[in-house]
Structure 1
């Protein structure tokens, strides 16, 4: 494959807790195309990042036979001559020329060196955070977007207007006759050094002011190891901007007054208008705070807000949040020295606009677009810092679902603020929102207020579950239903969760399915389930890599727990021995289990006798799912004996894909024909043929309580299917699926 060609399927990457081992594994498994793209994307930043360690890196490449001694000498000479920038540029040039093997070795060497090179560590952390599709995330907003044909003339006129407005620079003078001089911008512009976020912004500004001429020397000595220089055409790269939002990218540049920030913005606009930078931006607008206050308030502010909000692509979202924030006296007061006082009518118009948008969007959040718009209106509320407005608009909200939206920590802080002012919230749906530890920390203060909380489907992890456990231990916790499916917690968080289950008085439904708790984690949870104060009624442990090693602990919990009625153990590996241990507890008269899910557990006919004993003696069990196990005819024949027992109260029975043939059809039909509690029976994906049709017909016609029977995936002939399908017309509400 050529290095510049795009593969047919993107590389999937998963980053987790151990950065070094994970990054090493990532670069080892990375395909050549992705490494090429990473190197190309981070090229300029890597030149800065490796300056302090370029000789060590060159030595590593020599050790792996990627560099010759002569090439190392060239790199080293530049370092000795004080030209570290040139040495790092040379090293990267050599690596790119040598091809994929050298690039792979270079990135693997970066992992080994990043602890001593802060800038390099920052780049690696960023790659780690990009997640499963780094190429796509790196290029957020950078794809060339074809402007609609009807806007091309508008764009060209707009560029020409901006060029005229920005090509000259007005400079104030102390001369009486000539107070303002006008120069060509390109002749007078002095490029600023823009650096990445520093350790203490206030401290650095004071140092800049105090050091004056010594600034350059001080920067070289003390800050070179910490900071990255950023070109103006890089400001809106995902690397430096606050991205991860469909609203677009944003960047904030801070500096001491008078240093030239406004002139820098003018140069950015001029360079875009003349086609030098940001060709993927369709339009560029420049606003000055002082100019905003010349609008004829409050009439035009309403029109401005409406027009900006009408742009579906979110291009003005930051602007709208900014204006919403100006309705807050606390936010507006520091700006009044630049803008003058805000008219009361203007503030009221902004508040009315925010109120209108929030109220209009609350009822329209079923689609992803609707959810995104609703989240944006919450940002307006947050920026307004108007608690009365928030209570009036969302104070009576009962259900909020943002499932499927990627939520940043800032989004989570906004949600926390809004929900904190809502006393009626019952259901909060945040599944598949990619909320990681920092976001969950922002949400922490309000999680206990919800009755139903869904966080299923993305990397909450152990640290996130520990934070949730703290919310569950809150004496004021109202959570009754908690969905944590597919969040990758392991046994290391089980002790915190067990502690929460032992003390919480509200939680009755907990779904921990599709995680990695393992036997050790479930053993800890079983201790909590034995606690008389545990109120859990429904517990999902499906897909948690459980074996018979935890079965005895679970059995002990089932024997003593008085609240648990629904237990999902599907998609595990309990095996016959594990089910035999559970069966002892299920036969206990004090066991309250009503629903038991044992599908996909590597069961055979060896455990059928024990299950039959449970069906014969347990008075509460009404649902049993044994699908996707190899019970076979012999196993189901044993179960059929128990199903005939009048004490058996089964209502739903799952025997799909359990290796059944015609041999057991008569036994099963005979047992269930008179079972007047049975409502749903699943016999799909087995090997029944037309030979079983008479027995199945008798079962369907004589079991008057039967509402649904699933027979798809068997081996009936068209004639056999024609004999079965019409039976659903035999009584109202009956469903026969063949």
Structure 2
């Protein structure tokens, strides 16, 4: 239960304030907090419990929600990010309504690991026509069937919601169809992240074949531009379903993130054969997919003919010979604007071809996550990581 919302916090008799006395939170403190990370005109509010408590040297209590809600209502930020702070199950309906009013002008709402209540999602659903959010991030919250029923209604009723992130949300085979129905009936959704629906800590296993079949129905609607499917143990056979869509001339998918699955060389072959006929896909993330040397050779055969602008094949156990073949296959002009290959194997031979590509400006150093240097202990060129590459954010 929340303690008495009196302005005289020092006099509050709740157990939290008895054991953790501190200076009361205020609008001024939150203004100062925002100015530490935001730029003028100070319209992007974010608060992470860990960083806030370390910086302010005070704990964030349930009592502070009264001030935070008041702050959001007065400042009306265009984006709100709240992380690792449990949103109380407000007994006072007015407080819940005021919190949602604080989101009125926000185009981006990120609520990560905040223990969402069903009443909060119902409040969003009820006020959907007066809210402006296009991006909704609910990652790391445990979403039950009841949560997903409200989220389904939000998806169906909203005309502007474009991006939804439900990564790590404890969604299982029984509840995922509820979400999928909302995605299917949504008029505006363009980007979805359904990575790792069941956290590993729970020991749950999500049947990836069932998920990919449902996802295939969504992408064949031909409205998604971004699809993020990380940590789902997808294999090469699962890629056949996605590749069938990518081969169609009408495909609109521009960004495909398959990080940390198990595609192997078979999945690579299927994907890149499809990309030979695809002109829309710009970003492909295959980091950590056990592609191996065979997968590296497959990419080498196709890389010059694809329209990919951003490719991540880092940490895939590709050996030196396959990496040499892959780098040799890159010709000028090269359409790659981001190319990540670190975490594979390199030798002096691959370092030499990398040096040639960089010096000839076939690749720009800021576009690739490795560079070359001279190893005095071995008296030869070697490949080392380069940290200047702009990070890819989907």
TM range (shorter): 0.7 to 0.9
Residue 400 of structure 1 corresponds to 45
CA distance in 2, matches of 1:569, 1:440: 39
Residue 352 of structure 2 corresponds to 694
Report if aligned partners of 1:669, 1:698 keep a CA contact under 8 Å in 2: no
CA distance in 2, matches of 1:558, 1:677: 26
1:314-713 aligned at under 5 Å gives the runs: 314=22, 317=24, 358=27, 360-361=28-29, 363-366=31-34, 398-404=43-49, 408-422=61-75, 424-438=76-90, 442-444=95-97, 445-446=100-101, 448-449=103-104, 450-460=106-116, 463=118, 466-467=121-122, 469-470=124-125, 474-531=128-185, 533-545=186-198, 546=206, 547-562=208-223, 564-645=224-305, 648-674=306-332, 676-702=334-360, 704=362, 706=364, 707-711=366-370
CA distance in 2, matches of 1:521, 1:671: 45
Closer/same/farther in 2, CA of residues 611 and 493 from structure 1, 3 Å limit:
same
Report if aligned partners of 1:626, 1:654 keep a CA contact under 8 Å in 2: yes
Closer/same/farther in 2, CA of residues 734 and 482 from structure 1, 3 Å limit:
closer
CA distance in 1, matches of 2:222, 2:377: 50
CA distance in 2, matches of 1:420, 1:686: 50
Closer/same/farther in 2, CA of residues 464 and 602 from structure 1, 3 Å limit:
farther
| Cα shift at 1:675 | 5.3
| Cα shift at 1:524 | 3.3
CA distance in 1, matches of 2:338, 2:230: 19
Point out the structure with max Rg over C-alpha.
1
CA distance in 1, matches of 2:384, 2:264: 31
- Tell me the TM-score normalized by structure 1: 0.43
| Cα shift at 1:720 | 7.8
CA distance in 1, matches of 2:335, 2:279: 12
More displaced stretch, 702-711 vs 686-695: 702-711
Q: Which structure dedicates a bigger proportion of its chain to strand?
A: 2
CA distance in 1, matches of 2:331, 2:322: 14
CA distance in 2, matches of 1:427, 1:615: 36
CA distance in 2, matches of 1:720, 1:517: 54
Report if aligned partners of 1:408, 1:435 keep a CA contact under 8 Å in 2: no
Residue 14 of structure 2 corresponds to 242
Closer/same/farther in 2, CA of residues 627 and 402 from structure 1, 3 Å limit:
closer
Residue 152 of structure 1 corresponds to none
Closer/same/farther in 2, CA of residues 653 and 720 from structure 1, 3 Å limit:
farther
Deviations 1:94-125 (A, max 9, x none): xxxxxxxxxxxxxxxxxxxxxxxxxxxxxxxx
| Cα shift at 1:598 | 0.5
1:73-92 aligned at under 5 Å gives the runs: none
Closer/same/farther in 2, CA of residues 722 and 735 from structure 1, 3 Å limit:
farther
| Cα shift at 1:483 | 2.0
| Cα shift at 1:608 | 1.7
| Cα shift at 1:667 | 2.8
Secondary structure at the residue paired with 1:438?
A: coil
| Cα shift at 1:627 | 0.8
Closer/same/farther in 2, CA of residues 454 and 579 from structure 1, 3 Å limit:
same
Q: How many residue pairs end up in the alignment? A: 355
- Tell me the TM-score normalized by structure 2: 0.76
Unaligned stretches of 5+ residues in structure 2: 2-11, 53-58, 199-205
Report if aligned partners of 2:268, 2:291 keep a CA contact under 8 Å in 1: yes
| Cα shift at 1:609 | 1.8
CA distance in 2, matches of 1:420, 1:366: 15
Secondary structure at the residue paired with 1:430?
A: strand
CA distance in 2, matches of 1:679, 1:673: 13
CA distance in 2, matches of 1:509, 1:721: 48
Deviations 1:238-278 (A, max 9, x none): xx95244xxx239xxxxxxxxxxxxxxxxxxxxxxxxxxxx
Secondary structure at the residue paired with 2:296?
A: helix
Report if aligned partners of 1:662, 1:687 keep a CA contact under 8 Å in 2: yes
Closer/same/farther in 2, CA of residues 710 and 439 from structure 1, 3 Å limit:
farther
Report if aligned partners of 2:324, 2:349 keep a CA contact under 8 Å in 1: no
Q: Which structure dedicates a bigger proportion of its chain to helix?
A: 1
Closer/same/farther in 2, CA of residues 401 and 502 from structure 1, 3 Å limit:
same
Report if aligned partners of 2:77, 2:103 keep a CA contact under 8 Å in 1: no
| Cα shift at 1:700 | 3.3
CA RMSD of aligned residues (A): 3.8
Unaligned stretches of 5+ residues in structure 1: 1-125, 127-239, 251-280, 282-312, 322-356, 372-395
